[in-house]
């Protein structure tokens, strides 16, 4: 019996997770008896920083990873994005956790299907205006890339033994149940949901009941685990520091805001940096625990 831990959206550089912070997470995982750790994308803003983070955890725990969109910025072409040369990189590759259980990693991508917009040209315009991924150079359009990934996923799953349990880790959202419809001032997100994932990816998974669990992030929203069909879906990304529960508690307890708007908090947190760093030091491990998915195998 072993324990798989998966976490996504660590964003170690944006969140200032250096040294002692990652040490606390690694020590906690070790104390919990975790036998394998998988980092499910957006570990850092560069692939080199991600590799350093993987190596840090590997000092104590077997660790694998795949990319999210943030690491893809400084990768040079499809070969590095989809077939990066590293033993611990899992994209359409499996690792045997036990005789009965395989961990399959897939970067994933998005096809605009979650957007309220139907016009692909308008969606691409919004991407160029607002979305971090505009810096990523890919070989085809986003829907074409996503369709190729979905086809490759189907072929990969067909080739895996039917008598094995498969745990699938990906980065992007595979089911519409994890897409939020926004009202009022946040309605723009109903258009930007275009870049969150692909329902067609989830439809492929539906065809393979041996996939018992799917773990993903990217949305920066945490959800209770949910069974859809025969598969359990787990989404609890760490996200950015200004989105954390400890940050929400901090700004309300110190009466710094009347309404919680995460993207508006960075200036406020800088102005109260000493007190906020004390809050972060005190409650960071709690935040990590809220963001971890543990799966016995």
pLDDT per position as a tens digit, 228-244? 999 999 999 999 999 99
Counted residue by residue, the chain has a size of 297
Rounded to an integer, what distance in angstroms lies between the CA atom of residue 70 and that of residue 132? 8
Secondary structure letter of residue 69 according to DSSP: T
SS3 assignment, position 226? strand
Whether residue 287 has pLDDT greater than 80:
yes
Whether residue 185 has pLDDT greater than 80:
no
Query: Is the pTM above the cut of 0.85?
Result: yes
Q: Do 71 and 50 form a contact (C-beta atoms < 8 A)?
A: yes
- The H or E element that residue 14 is part of is none
pLDDT tens-digit series, residues 66-97:
999 999 999 988 999 999 999 999 999 999 99
Identify the pLDDT of residue 98: 97
pLDDT confidence of 18, banded at 50, 70, 90?
Answer: confident
């Amino acid at each position: 019996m072993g324990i798989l831990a998966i976490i996504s959206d660590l964003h170690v550089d944006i969140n200032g997770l250096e040294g002692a912070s990652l040490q606390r997470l690694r020590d906690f995982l070790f104390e919990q008896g975790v036998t394998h750790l998988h980092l499910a994308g957006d570990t850092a803003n560069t692939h080199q920083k991600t590799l350093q983070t993987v190596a840090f955890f590997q000092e104590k725990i077997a660790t694998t990873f795949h990319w999210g969109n943030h690491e893809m910025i400084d990768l040079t072409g499809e070969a590095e994005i989809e077939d990066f040369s590293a033993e611990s990189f899992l994209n359409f590759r499996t690792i045997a956790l036990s005789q009965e259980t395989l961990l399959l990693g897939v970067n994933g991508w998005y096809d605009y299907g979650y957007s309220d917009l139907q016009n692909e040209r308008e969606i691409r315009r919004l991407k160029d205006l607002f979305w971090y991924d505009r810096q990523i150079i890919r070989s085809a359009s986003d829907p074409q890339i996503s369709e190729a990934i979905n086809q490759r996923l189907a072929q990969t799953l067909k080739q895996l033994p039917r008598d094995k349990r498969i745990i699938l880790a990906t980065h992007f959202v595979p089911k519409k149940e994890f897409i939020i419809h926004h009202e009022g001032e946040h309605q723009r997100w109903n258009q930007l949901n275009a870049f969150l994932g692909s329902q067609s990816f989830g439809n492929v998974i539906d065809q393979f009941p041996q996939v018992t669990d799917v773990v993903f992030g990217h949305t920066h929203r945490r959800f209770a685990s949910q069974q859809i069909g025969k598969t359990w879906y787990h989404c609890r990304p760490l996200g950015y520091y200004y989105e954390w529960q400890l940050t929400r508690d901090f700004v309300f307890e110190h009466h710094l805001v009347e309404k919680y708007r995460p993207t508006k908090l960075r200036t406020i947190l800088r102005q109260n940096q000493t007190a906020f760093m004390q809050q972060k030091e005190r409650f960071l491990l709690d935040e990590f625990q809220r963001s971890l998915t543990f799966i016995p195998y």
